[in-house]
Amino acid sequence: MKPAPFEYAAPPTLDEALAILSENDPDEVKILAGGQSLMPLLNMRLARPELLLDLTRIDELGGVRALDSAVSIGALATKRDVEDSSLVRDRNPLFMESTVMIGHPQIRNRGTVGGSMVQADPAAEYPAVAVALGAELVARGPGGERVIEADDFFITYLTTSLEPGEILTEVRVPDLPAGTGWSIQEVARRHGDFAIVGAVAMLRLESGVCVDPRIVIFGASDRARRHPEAEALLAGERPSAALFESAGQAVAQSLEDPTDDVHASADYRRDLARVLCARTLSEAMERAEGSGA
Ligand SMILES: Cc1cc2nc3c(=O)[nH]c(=O)nc-3n(C[C@H](O)[C@H](O)[C@H](O)COP(=O)(O)OP(=O)(O)OC[C@H]3O[C@@H](n4cnc5c(N)ncnc54)[C@H](O)[C@@H]3O)c2cc1C
């Protein structure tokens, strides 16, 4: 199918893009970034905007740059830009690993970091690592600039706290603290598919006990979520397979309303969350031990 007819604008600056948004009914405008999620929706006529606002000519929204203790990734930077960034590789190997798990090279060549954040697919890797790392998402709109914590940005299925008329401009990904062990693993039917369930784990070891443990499960419910009950079980404890299995059990118990669809039942997802939690914690511990911290 072909999209329903629409007007098209591709302004060269963010200010012009914001002006176009403010002059139009935001409900009738669709923002286009890499098009990897939006174009199928247009082609299937599930989205029928009056105006397509293409951001891809706005150079100021691209690029990856160093901040004091974070990496700033422009919303229009592609996943390929991230893969090619030695800055991201050095300062945040978890974010790098999540990048190469996304889709296929063709998708990563065009799909943007900002597009994945705003799309807010519950099974997507970037929202999960953004929540685990405590990333900040920067938006510009009629009210000026807003900085939104990742945990407040992702609301539910395909829904964020971006206001109508706002454009996501930047994602600030904090550096992985020294000595942090990390892991991201997922189960998908085929390589490059969205995850059925995935997990992200982070922890440090100090005097032999777990410090600042973080567990995020994605693909299992309406959004990527941390699991404080499981994290509390780990904090201050000596790591062991039994402890990680207990954390996995706590995650499985605390999963609210797991997704039940054609890809997997709710029970299967709950069990995957348990298994992936324990496996990612184990890998994170090995990395923390190997860091020499
Ligand atoms: C075959 C296939 C496999 C895939 N596999 C995966 C996978 O394994 N993991 C994964 O995470 N993703 C996967 N994707 C999705 C892919 O990562 C998309 O690139 C991503 O979801 C959207 O990014 P985009 O730049 O293409 O955004 P677009 O499709 O252009 O836009 C997506 C949405 O975000 C909005 N938007 C985009 N940028 C902004 C902005 N700066 N400010 C405000 N709103 C904005 C758009 O209006 C639209 O609603 C896959 C896609 C395909 C086609």
Distance CA 3, CA 293 (A): 54
160 lines ligand 1 (CB under 6 A): no
- Atom 19 of ligand 1, nearest CA residue: 111
Looking at residue 291, its pLDDT comes to 80
- Whether 288 has a pLDDT exceeding 80, the answer reads yes
pTM of the model: 0.97
DSSP 26-57: GGGEEEESS-TTHHHHHHTTS---SEEEE-TT
The residue-averaged pLDDT of 256-276 equals 97
Q: Do the beta carbons of residue 204 and residue 180 sit within 8 Å?
A: yes
What span, in angstroms and rounded, lies between the C-alpha atoms of 172 and 19?
A: 25
Nearest CA, atom 11, ligand 1: 124
Query: Using CA atoms, how far apart are residues 62 and 184, in angstroms rounded to an integer?
Result: 26
- 102 in contact with ligand 1, CB cutoff 6 A: yes
pLDDT higher than 90, residue 26: no
Sign, Cα dihedral of 140, 141, 144, 150: negative
Selection from 128, 184, 182, 121 nearest residue 156 by Cα = 121
**206 CA to middle of ligand 1, Å?**
39
* DSSP one-letter code for 124: -
99 CA to centre of ligand 1 in angstroms:
13
Q: What is the mean pLDDT of residues 249-253?
A: 97
Assess whether pLDDT exceeds 90 at residue 293. Answer: no
pLDDT digits (tens, 9 = 90+) for 39-56: 999 999 999 999 999 999
CA of 79 to the centre of ligand 1 (A): 10
The protein residue whose alpha carbon is closest to atom 10 in ligand 1 is: 124
- Amino acid 19: pLDDT: 97
- State yes or no: pLDDT of 195 exceeds 70: yes
Is the CB–ligand 1 distance for residue 122 below 6 Å? no
| Domains in the chain, CATH or no CATH each | 7-54 (3.30.43.10), 59-174 (3.30.465.10), 181-290 (3.30.390.50)
Pocket of ligand 1 contains residue 91 by CB under 6 Å = no
CA gap 100, 98 in Å, rounded: 6
Location of structure tokens 């009210």: 143
Q: How far apart are CA 277 and CA 275, in angstroms?
A: 5
Residue 262 above 60 pLDDT? Answer: yes
Q: What is the mean pLDDT of the chain?
A: 96
Distance CA 216, CA 231 (A): 10
Quickly state the pLDDT bin for 192 (edges 50, 70, 90): confident
Beta strands at 51-54 and 7-9: parallel, antiparallel or unpaired:
parallel
User: What pLDDT does residue 292 have?
Assistant: 59
